[in-house]
Structure 1
Amino acid sequence: SEHPNSDELVAEVARLEGADGGGVATGAGLAGLLAAVLAVCEAGDHVLCPAELYGGSVVLLSKELTRLGIETTYVPLAELYDVARHRQPNTKLVLAEVLSNPLLVVLDGPRLARACQEQGIMLLIDSSFTSPMLTRPLSWGADMVWHSATKYLAGHSDVTAGVVVARDPALGQRLRQLATNLGLMLAPLDSWLAVRGLRTLALRMRQHSGNALAVARFLTESPAVAQVFYPGLESHPGHKLAAAQLLNGLYGGMLSVRLTDDSAAAVDRFVQRSRLFPLAPSLAGVQSSCSYPAATSHRGLTPGQRAALGITPGVLRLSVGIEEPEELLADLAQALG
């Protein structure tokens, strides 16, 4: 049910995103996606997504919502901008991420928004990796912005939550109605904790981003690392787009690496040796952590599907926290040494 704590959280996120339509806070990140899709789609409708989409979103869309008669297809992000080619007569929604998980492919948000508007299709943007400090997708022309508030918005690894805000008040009201009717609403204490986290969001994102850039630059020089995926690096193929599109000169706190020994055993050695990057199921907390996509977010895919996305056995995702950067670099040096 609705309550003042949830209202405060949604109002603050809506203010940061410039969302006049308000929205809803849910008990988990994927509950927010569920509310967003059901606010727009019904049985017989179609959703279009990039092939690089987060694995948890893929599971919800392709294994659960298909049972309700909502179909989803996936195309490479580079092709997604041609919405007219890939849409179906019943396509109602396009979903995309600002930065893909785990390889940090950069979305050209304004370009995709224009393509959706030309086709009369709504656009939902997952901004969980960036937060409103780095991107405000409604300004591009998106219709809804979705956050796994478990991540940067709350920021302290003590809340599971989702927030969806909308441009249109009618859509915002529909989101609230759905979440209430389906029991998706966020509890009062979790709402309060998330609001507490928002009060330091700007400070945290600056430190996350600065530390991640330092870590990325350090790792590019390590012989134990074959490839670093971070849009703040000039070598990243999406760097120019990210520099033009992301706000405040920040690139976020998430990065991934492909180890030179591209194997699960090499990843395991790193995890066993690192002190400051513990293996964790989530991300974006104040403390650094790491994740192994092949066994977590993308475990539902076949090895061939993962390989096609570039998620090889030696890919490791790092969530860079707000610790002192010198301590993080020293830990990485000994863990990779």
Structure 2
Amino acid sequence: MKIGILKETQLGEKRVSISPNIAKQLIELGFDVLVEEDAGSTSSFKDSDYTNIGAIVEKRGVVFKEANILIKINPFDEEDLKLIDKGQILMSQLFHKSHPELIKAIANKGATAFSMDAMPRISRAQDMDVLSSQNNLAGYKAVILGAYEMTKIFPLMMTAAGTITPSRVLIYGVGVAGLQAIATAKRLGAVVEATDIRLETKEQTESLGAKFITVDNTGEESEGGYAKAASEEYARKQKEAVDKSLFQADLVITTAMVPGRKSPILITEEQVKHMKNGAVLIDLAAAQGGNCELSEMGKTVVKHGVKIIGTTISPESVSTNASDLYAKNMLNFIKHLTDKTEFKWDLEEEITDETLIVKDGKIRKNGKTE
């Protein structure tokens, strides 16, 4: 069984799906590993790092032709699809709910596809959860970016010239990214507040030393461990409860995303008008529309005296660490799916069932193949 590691082609992407260390472990399990030339170069991994552990470095076309399993981080694109053959197994984040045309194209090629972003939020899948591993780094980098863009420092500082009061940070969404953002901002000395539709995150927030802004969430339960889209009534209550903190904040980080859907608008232009002059807003949900009404993906805009940065901070900026974590997730996933390098195809098992989107050219829905 040959595993092909492809170079990422998405603009700005610097990660690689399998690091040399994990490639070595796959080889030890009995897989052959083919790596596209320069696949790891932007993550500080040289081709020789792969060949030294027994992997084979080849041109892109050869990897597509010879590999049984093709692994990426980002969705397969049109150029990839031209090279995919019937019977090949694809593994990447497919975001299948919002990209039905991609899933149909994969099915038309007669391929099989697993979507890594469809991993169920259950305890035994934690070490395969690429969204968690990557969002953890995104939360950290959001605070570092905010610190760089702000015109203030985070901690309380007492000097001969006077006392500097600590900055105030507000975080929307206490998932993996939000929790890491809270922890990082607290370590840097900021006063941190956070809010989330899931009241079960209150204890986690407070355990990190931040204040949780409670909003009545009756009827707003989460779905499968993820936050679900909030109702208009909840959005109104949240604005009322959070506005005071929002208007006092020096740095605001928004992380609220609903899988397969447009990001909810949590901060309107009217609210931005009342924010501190010079405040910074980092919108981590910008790729799916943004949590702030004024966010633009990949851009920094200044509106009403507020610097609004629309980004995923997908851990491209820490691509070495991000690649290592993603690769470890993939290793655990492949070990889960296979026995002595052969796929088990246990369609009754929850992890396999939820991540297997296309099987032998047929699209699966609700645990069944159409």
TM over 0.5: no
* Structure that is richer in helix per residue: 1
Larger radius of gyration: 2
